[in-house]
Chain A
Amino acid sequence: MSVPASAVASGAPATLAPATHAAPLHASASPAPPEPVAVLAGVHKAYQMDDVSVPVLQGIDLLVRPGHFTVVLGPSGSGKTTMLNLLGCIDRPDQGQVTVAGTDIGTLNDDQLADFRAANIGFIFQSFNLIPVLSTFENIEYPLVLAGMEPARRARRVTKLLELVGLSDRAKNLPGQLSGGQRQRVAIARALARKPRLVIADEPTANLDSRTGEAILTLMRMMQVRYRISFVFSSHDRSVLKAADDLILLRDGVIRAVRRKAAPPPPLDTVPGEDEA
C-alpha cells in the first residue's frame, strides 16, 4: 500500500502547515510510526445530481494515526462527511484506496463490510441516531447483541459504559426522554461498546448548545485517551481545534493543510480489559 508521505506524520509540530504531496511534512528523524488505523490513498468521490457529476473529494491522501484525536475541519460542503463516510466504511470511493485497520475495504463484500464495521468502527452522529424504541441501556447494548455476546457479559459492559458517560440513572429511559447532551453521551457509549479501533464522529456537537457541545467534546477526548481509540471528528467549528491531536483542513474536496501535534498522546494507564468497557 502506498501512502503519500505528505499525509503521514508523527511528531509533527503544533502548526497548521499546508498539505503538499511533494515532501514529508515533518522531516525530523524519529522512530518508525505505528501502523496507521486508516489510510485514504488517492481517493476521489463524486455524487451524481441528475445528469451532473459533482466532485466532492478530489485526490485525498490521508493517514489517521492510531490512538489520536483527529479533527477534520472545513466549511459546509468541503467534503468532511464524505471523507468520514469513507473512513467509516459506509461508502466506497470512486477512485483510490481506503484501508482501515490494515484492511483494504475494496476487497470486502457488503456483509463482510458490515461485520468489519461492527468489529472495528464506532459511529457518533450529529443527530445522535439512537434507536427510539430502545432504552439507553439497550441502545448501548445493541452492537453487542449483533456481536452475539452473551447477556451477562453484555450487561457488565453496558453498565460500565453507562457509568463512564454518567448515565447510570438513565439506563431505562428511552431516547425521547433524554436531553440532547444525554443522547449524545449514549451515542458515544454505543460507539465504544465493541471497543472499536476507530470512532467516526460527524459533527457530533452541531446539534448541541456550546456548553453541552464542549462537555461532549471533553467526554470524547477523555474516552479516546482512556481507551487509546482513534477518533476522527468533523466540525466546521474552529473552537474544537484545541482538542485535536491531528487537524486536517479540508476545502472544496481537497486537503489544504495537515497539522499534527509533535507529542504523542499521553501514555495510557487504563486499557480496557475483557471485563471493562
Chain B
Amino acid sequence: MTASLLSLALRNLLRNRRRSLATLLALAIGASAILIFGGYTTNLRYTLQTAYVRAGGHLQIQHRDFFHYGSGNPAAYGLARYEALIRALQADPELAAMTVAITPMLQFGGVAGNYDAGVSRTVIGTGYVPADVNRMRQWNEHGLRYERPPFPLDGAGPDAAVIGQGVARVLQLCEPLNVPPEACPRPTASRAGPATGPALGDDIAALAAAEAGARPGGGAAPAGTARIELLASQVRGAPNVAALTVVAAESQGFKELDEIALILPLAQAQKLVYGRSEPRVTSILVQLQRTAQMPAAQARIEAVLAQAAPGEPLAVLGFQALNPFYVQSQQMFDTIFGFIFALIGGIVLFTVGNTMNAAVIERTVEVGTLRAIGLRQQGIRRLFIAEGLVLGVVGALAGVAFAFAFATVFNAASLTWVPPGASEPLPLSIILQGRPGLVVGITVGLIAIAVASAWWPARRASGLKIVEALRHV
C-alpha cells in the first residue's frame, strides 16, 4: 500500500511537470544554499579550530587563576614541578593513546626594542619547546589546505626568537627579516631614526650590550636575521633583559597576535623570567589526535593531576574556554545559519504549500471520486502528504547533490581569503565531506518542512464533502 501510495504520489506530481519542477527547484536551491553556507561555516570552524589547536593545543593545564588574573603577572602563576606533571601525563597509557604532544609553555609580558632604530613595543613573550611546537603545527584533523611552515625556532640557537609580522613592522625589522610588503607596508613619511630619537636608558642599553657581548659573535646579526632586546620583569619584579636573534617574522594568523607575539625557546624565556630561581611554566599544552577526545582526555588529565599533584590549584581548560573569540564566532555563524535555514524553510513551506493547494483545487473531483469509492479521509491526507514527502525527498536530495558538486568544483579552485581579524590568507572551502550531521540534518529538516507544508492542504482535501467535491468544476 505504501509503495502504491508513493507511486501514485509521484505520478500525480508528474501530471503538472512544470509546477512540480518549479517547486523542486525551489527546494533544491534552498537545500543547496543552506548546505553550501553550512559547508562554508564548517570551513571557518575547522580553520579557526586548527589555528588555535596548533598554537595552544586542545587543553591547557594552568594555575586555577591564571586565565583570569595571569596577564597582570604571568610569572606569578607558574607551575612548579611541571616536568614531573608532564612525565605523569605522558606515562598514562589512556592519555598516551590520545595525545600528539604534551609540552610546557611560559607566557610573560615584556618590551621588545630595536635600539638601532630607536623603537620598542610591548610584547607577549611565549617560551616553547621548539620541537614540540613543530609537531603540533602538523596537526590537521580536518585535512585542510592550511599548512604551517616548520617552526623556525626548531634547530635554531638558544637565543633565537620569532616575532609576529606586526612586531617586525613596528620594530622596523621588515627588511632584514624579509617580511612581504603586503604585511609590512613601507612608511611614506620620514621617521625619526636613532640619531634623532631620545637616548635610551643607560641601564637597559648596558644590560643589552652585556647580553650581546656574552654571545659568540654577538654584535652583527647574520643575513636574514635581526637583533632585538627583550626587557621583561622577573618573577620578583626586577627587570631582566635578553638580547635575541630574530630568525623569522611569522604571521600568527590573527592581527592582534601579530602585533604582540614574540616567541623564544622555553629555556631562554625561563632564564629571563625566573633567572636563577626554579624555572616554571604558565601552562602545559596538551594536543590530542582528535577534538572529539577532549572530554575523555580532560577527565583523564584531571584524574592524573589529582594523583600527581594533590591539592595543587590547577585547572584544565579547553581551547574554546581559552579563546572566547572562537566560541563567539561559532555562535555568530550558528545564528546566521539558523536564520538562513528559517528563511529558506519558510520559502519551502510556502512553495510546497502553494503547490499542494493548487493540486487540491485541481483534483477536487478526483478527491470526491476516491472518497466515493471508499478511500477514507485519512487516505486522502496520506495521498497529499505523500506528494509533499516525494517533493521534499527529491528536492532535498537534488539540493544535496548540487551542493556536493558545487563544493567539489569550488574547492578545486583552491581559493583563499582573509577572514575578519586574520592576518594571513586562509583556505576558502566548502566542507561537506565528513559532515553527515549537517547533510542529514538539512535534508531531513527540509523534508519535514515539505511534509508539514503539505499537511494543511491534505487536511483540507480530506475534509471536502464528497458531493461538493464531485460537483466541483
Which residues of A come within 8 Å of B, CB atoms? 82, 85, 88, 90-91, 110-111, 114-115, 117-119, 122-123, 125, 127, 129, 131-134, 142-143, 145-148, 190
Is residue B370 within 8 Å, beta carbon to beta carbon, of the partner chain?
yes
B373 contacts A123, CB within 8 Å? yes
A117 contacts B15, CB within 8 Å? no
B8 contacts A134, CB within 8 Å? yes
Contacts of B378 in A (CB 8 A): 111
A90-B372, A114-B371 as given contacts; A131 in contact with B377, CB under 8 Å? no
Contacts of A147 in B (CB 8 A): 374
A117 contacts B374, CB within 8 Å? yes
**When each residue 334-373 of chain B gets 1 if its CB lies under 8 Å from chain A and 0 otherwise, what string results?**
0000000000000000000000000000000110111111
16 A-B pairs (CB sep. < 8 Å): A85-B467, A91-B466, A111-B378, A114-B371, A114-B375, A115-B376, A117-B373, A117-B374, A123-B373, A125-B470, A129-B366, A129-B369, A131-B369, A143-B373, A148-B1, A190-B373
A115-B376, A143-B374 as given contacts; A90 in contact with B467, CB under 8 Å? yes
**Bound Cα distance from A190 to B4, whole angstroms:** 17
**Bound Cα distance from A111 to B12, whole angstroms:** 24
Contacts of A146 in B (CB 8 A): 373-375, 379
Is residue B435 within 8 Å, beta carbon to beta carbon, of the partner chain?
no
A115-B376, A133-B11, A146-B379 as given contacts; A90 in contact with B369, CB under 8 Å? no
**Bound Cα distance from A129 to B368, whole angstroms:** 9
B377 contacts A110, CB within 8 Å? yes
**Residue B4 contacts which of A82, A119, A145 (CB distance < 8 angstroms)?**
A145
**Residue A119 contacts which of B366, B374, B470 (CB distance < 8 angstroms)?**
B374
A131-B366, A132-B15 as given contacts; A118 in contact with B373, CB under 8 Å? yes
Interface residues of B in 1-28 (CB under 8 A from A): 1, 4, 8, 11-12, 14-15
**Residue A114 contacts which of B4, B377, B470 (CB distance < 8 angstroms)?**
B377
Contacts of B369 in A (CB 8 A): 123, 125, 129, 131
Contacts of B371 in A (CB 8 A): 90, 114
Beyond known contacts A85-B467, A131-B369: 16 more, CB 8 A cutoff: A82-B467, A90-B371, A91-B466, A91-B467, A114-B371, A114-B374, A114-B377, A117-B373, A118-B375, A133-B8, A133-B11, A133-B14, A143-B374, A145-B1, A145-B4, A147-B374
Size band of the interface chain B makes with A: 20 to 34
Contacts of B372 in A (CB 8 A): 88, 90, 117, 123
**When each residue 434-473 of chain B gets 1 if its CB lies under 8 Å from chain A and 0 otherwise, what string results?**
0000000000000000000000000000000111001000
Contacts of B12 in A (CB 8 A): 133
**When each residue 128-155 of chain B gets 1 if its CB lies under 8 Å from chain A and 0 otherwise, what string results?**
0000000000000000000000000000
Query: Chain A residue with minimal CB distance to B374?
Result: A118
* 8 closest A-B pairs by CB: A118-B374, A133-B11, A90-B466, A129-B369, A114-B376, A91-B467, A117-B374, A85-B467
Contacts of A111 in B (CB 8 A): 376-378
**Bound Cα distance from A125 to B365, whole angstroms:** 11
Shortest Cβ distance from residue A210 to the other chain B in the assembled complex, whole angstroms: 25
**Bound Cα distance from A134 to B383, whole angstroms:** 14
Shortest Cβ distance from residue B127 to the other chain A in the assembled complex, whole angstroms: 76
Contacts of A134 in B (CB 8 A): 8, 11
Query: Chain B residue with minimal CB distance to A174?
Result: B11
Query: Chain A residue with minimal CB distance to B376?
Result: A114
Contacts of B466 in A (CB 8 A): 85, 90-91
A90-B466, A145-B1 as given contacts; A129 in contact with B365, CB under 8 Å? yes
**Bound Cα distance from A246 to B368, whole angstroms:** 28
Query: Chain B residue with minimal CB distance to A128?
Result: B369
**Bound Cα distance from A110 to B376, whole angstroms:** 8
**Bound Cα distance from A104 to B11, whole angstroms:** 38
B374 contacts A115, CB within 8 Å? yes
**Bound Cα distance from A162 to B368, whole angstroms:** 24
Interface residues of B in 237-258 (CB under 8 A from A): none
Task: Give the interface centre of A119, A129, A132, A190 by most chain B CB atoms within 10 Å.
Answer: A129
Shortest Cβ distance from residue B206 to the other chain A in the assembled complex, whole angstroms: 96
**Bound Cα distance from A134 to B470, whole angstroms:** 19
Contacts of B4 in A (CB 8 A): 145
A133-B11, A133-B14 as given contacts; A142 in contact with B470, CB under 8 Å? no
Interface residues of B in 308-357 (CB under 8 A from A): none
Contacts of B370 in A (CB 8 A): 131
Shortest Cβ distance from residue B426 to the other chain A in the assembled complex, whole angstroms: 53
Contacts of A123 in B (CB 8 A): 369, 372-373
Contacts of B368 in A (CB 8 A): 90, 129
Query: Chain B residue with minimal CB distance to A119?
Result: B374
**Bound Cα distance from A143 to B365, whole angstroms:** 17
